[in-house]
Amino acid sequence: MTMIASVLHLDRKAVKELRITDPYSLHRVVYSLYDDVRSDKEKQGSTASGILFADQGGDVLNRKVLLLADRPPANCLEGGYGEVQSKAVPDDFLDYERYRFQVVVNPTRRDSATRKLLPVKGRDAIKAWFCERAEKSWGFQVSPDHLQVDQVNIQRFKDKAKNPVTIAQASLQGELQVIDPEQFKTSFRLGIGRARAFGCGLLQIVPITDTLYS
């Protein structure tokens, strides 16, 4: 499956006119760029949308959003807002053994008694959670000594049905070693962890090759 990597550029007017104020409004804008290929039943179930994004923020004049999907986006948003630049991910991009990475994740654990999802709190606990999940579920290993938690925050907003939503987010970066190539490829294509519809889970990776050190 060919994946399409894109960058959505938004100027100040576009951000204002599109009413981008929180993770749900950004979700709405990003998803509007893509053909809706899921049935209502698939949306209510666990079928992935095939769309990942990561908000890169910006300044008062511009905002940048990274996109990754299993299909190409439109060239701009409805009304002509924004600009989208896209390219196919090379076939061999996921065949390296090591990568530098950045990712925004939703660190949570399910309580065994109540079955509720609880946020993982504290940078050391987030590091431990990430390293554990990486090896067990995502197809790669991460050394805690080379893992950096840059930012931890809580996002509160309302979804389409006006229900309150609270999401814990942590921004991490480091180096990873692939231990299960097929699982790693799945993690890249589908994203990792929860809250992927709201800007979490997109692995932003750069291969580490010997040429970097020559």
Q: Which of 32, 68, 24, 73 is nearest to 50 (CA)?
A: 68
Q: Which CATH number fits domain 4-88: 3.40.50.12280, 1.20.120.140, 3.30.70.1200, 3.40.50.300?
A: 3.30.70.1200
Of the CA atoms within 13 Å of residue 165, those in its CB half-sphere come to: 18
Q: Which of 123, 147, 145, 139 is nearest to 182 (CA)?
A: 139
Residue ranges matching CATH 3.30.70.1200 in the chain = 4-88
The CATH architecture of the domain made up of 98-213 is: 2-Layer Sandwich (3.30)
Predicted confidence (pLDDT) per residue in 159-203, tens digit: 888 889 989 999 999 999 999 999 999 999 999 999 999 999 999
DSSP code at position 183:
H
CA distance 204 to 202: 6
Q: Are 192 and 105 in contact (CB under 8 A)?
A: yes
Q: Are 36 and 47 in contact (CB under 8 A)?
A: no
Q: Which residues, listed in sequence order, are joined to residue 178 by a DSSP beta bridge?
A: 140
In the predicted model, is pLDDT for residue 212 greater than 60? no
Residue ranges matching CATH 3.30.70.1210 in the chain = 98-213
Within a 10 A sphere around the Cβ of 107, how many other Cβ atoms? 26
pLDDT-based confidence at residue 127 (cuts at 50, 70, 90): very high
In the predicted model, is pLDDT for residue 210 greater than 70? no
Q: Which residues, listed in sequence order, are joined to residue 87 by a DSSP beta bridge?
A: 5
Q: Give mean pLDDT, residues 15-28.
A: 91
- Cα angle for residues 39, 73, 164 (degrees, 5° grid): 60
Instruction: For residue 199, give both structure tokens.
Output: 């800007």
CA distance 32 to 73: 9
pTM: 0.88
What's residue 201's pLDDT?
A: 96
